[in-house]
Structure 1
């Protein structure tokens, strides 16, 4: 599903799954193509990124997780220019 068809809640769910994967959790269901589309969309729509991050951080606080660590991961790993090549290089 293209990111333009996703609600903010669905984007939060996808990011949460991807974040849990890098934290040692179960693999994310995002395909490389879906991940690339989400990276491109959020990178090009800062207002949507802010809305998604705000909702995700609220959820993380409720779950007693670290919202700042997740925000850092989003900016420095998930949305970084080389994030897609790192993801594709994983076994």
Structure 2
């Protein structure tokens, strides 16, 4: 008989499941991504070129279908001179 899968508290150590440490960057929301791009006066194509991402990835981040990595978000903010 196969046992039912249960939540494994040991998975709390997984980096994608643990709570963020103080000062650790978080994924930006789709609204933050759209607002920062608009404030920089960039199209999605221009914005994605700045951080070497695909257009599809950028579209997914703005649609909320995927999460942008905090490192890419920081790179975008640095390159556009925006504030977090």
Q: Which has the higher helix share?
A: 1
TM over 0.5: no
TM-score of the pair, normalised by structure 1: 0.26
If you compute each CA radius of gyration, which structure gives the higher value, 1 or 2?
Answer: 2
TM-score of the pair, normalised by structure 2: 0.27
